[in-house]
């Protein structure tokens, strides 16, 4: 069994120039505003309020860093979670939005310590254009030492028939719910294996 036993907030950075040293393998959470990025960070770390969650879309435009320690078979593995600002409808002017989007894509491309991209998709809206764009973008920039994982959020909102419909489109879909904990242990394992392999 793998768990995350420590999680601490490191820094909120407004731009790539003001971030922490890239000395630890990082897991970057990406997805549109309100998809549940901050909530899943709190669920994975089992720390309510670690990442600020908000019901106002597009409010957080900072890059937030959290140092974590995985524990497996009594060994510790350090890593860092990166809560990225939401892609899509940030509530700012068009020019600022453009500026910000560029800042974010620049960060994603330049940040050499990112090993895993976790693309979060709202399980109730699995086929939005914005997610297709994010997915295509990630595949385009993903380096050989990086992996992309997709989780479908807010699974607690789905009826069984919705789950079946989702699995028809994405047979291997990993559903998570930060509200009721569904899929969270499995999500921790997937992230750990992507970072450190399955043989450690
Ligand atoms: N029902 C349900 N609501 C969720 C879940 N995860 C997040 N939310 C809600 O969705 C809203 C946005 O969540 P947040 O984590 O701030 O999204 P972010 O903008 O991607 O960081 C908040 O009102 C959360 O309470 C979930 O698993 N289930
Ligand atoms: Mg957030």
pLDDT tens-digit profile, the chain (200 residues)? 999 999 999 999 877 778 888 899 999 999 988 899 999 999 999 999 899 876 665 556 788 999 999 999 999 999 999 998 877 654 556 666 677 677 788 888 889 999 999 999 999 999 998 899 889 989 999 999 999 999 999 999 999 999 999 999 999 999 999 999 999 999 999 999 999 999 88
**The total number of structural domains that make up the chain:** 1
Closest ligand 1 atom to residue 59 Cα is 19
Tokens linked to 195: 């970072």
Beta 26-30 vs 75-83: how paired, if at all? parallel
The rounded distance, in Å, linking the Cα atoms of 74 and 150 is 28
Q: Encode 122-146: b = buried (16+ Cβ within 10 Å), e = exposed.
A: bbeebeeebbeebeebbeeeeeeee
CA 36 to ligand 1 center in whole angstroms: 4
- Whether 103 is in the pocket of ligand 1, judged by its Cβ within 6 Å, is no
Tokens linked to 7: 């999680």
Check which CATH number belongs to the domain holding 168 and give it: 3.40.50.300
Tokens linked to 47: 């720390």
For residue 30, give the ligand nearest its CA: 1
The SS3 assignment for 109 reads helix
Find, among 191, 181, 197, the residue nearest to 40 by Cα.
181
Q: Which domain holds residue 54?
A: 2-196
Find, among 84, 80, 60, the residue nearest to 70 by Cα.
80
- Whether 88 is in the pocket of ligand 1, judged by its Cβ within 6 Å, is no
Tokens linked to 55: 């019901």
């Amino acid at each position: 069994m793998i768990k995350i036993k420590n999680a601490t907030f490191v820094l909120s950075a407004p731009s790539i120039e003001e971030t922490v040293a890239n000395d630890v393998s990082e897991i970057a959470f990406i997805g549109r505003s309100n998809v549940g990025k901050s909530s899943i960070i709190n669920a994975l770390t089992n720390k309510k309020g670690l990442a600020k969650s908000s019901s106002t879309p597009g409010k957080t435009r900072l890059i937030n860093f959290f140092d974590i320690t995985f524990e497996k078979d009594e060994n510790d593995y350090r890593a860092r979670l990166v809560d990225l600002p939401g892609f899509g409808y940030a509530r700012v002017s068009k020019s600022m939005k453009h500026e910000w989007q560029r800042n974010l894509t620049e960060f994603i491309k330049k940040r050499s310590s990112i090993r895993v991209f976790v693309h979060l998709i709202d399980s109730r809206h699995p086929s939005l254009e914005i997610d297709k764009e994010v997915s295509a973008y990630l595949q385009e920039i993903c380096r050989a030492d990086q992996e992309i994982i997709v989780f479908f959020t807010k699974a607690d909102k789905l009826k069984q028939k919705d789950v079946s419909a989702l699995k028809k489109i994405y047979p291997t879909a990993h559903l998570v719910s930060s509200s009721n904990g569904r899929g969270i242990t499995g999500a921790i394992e997937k992230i750990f294996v992507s970072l450190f392999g399955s043989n450690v």
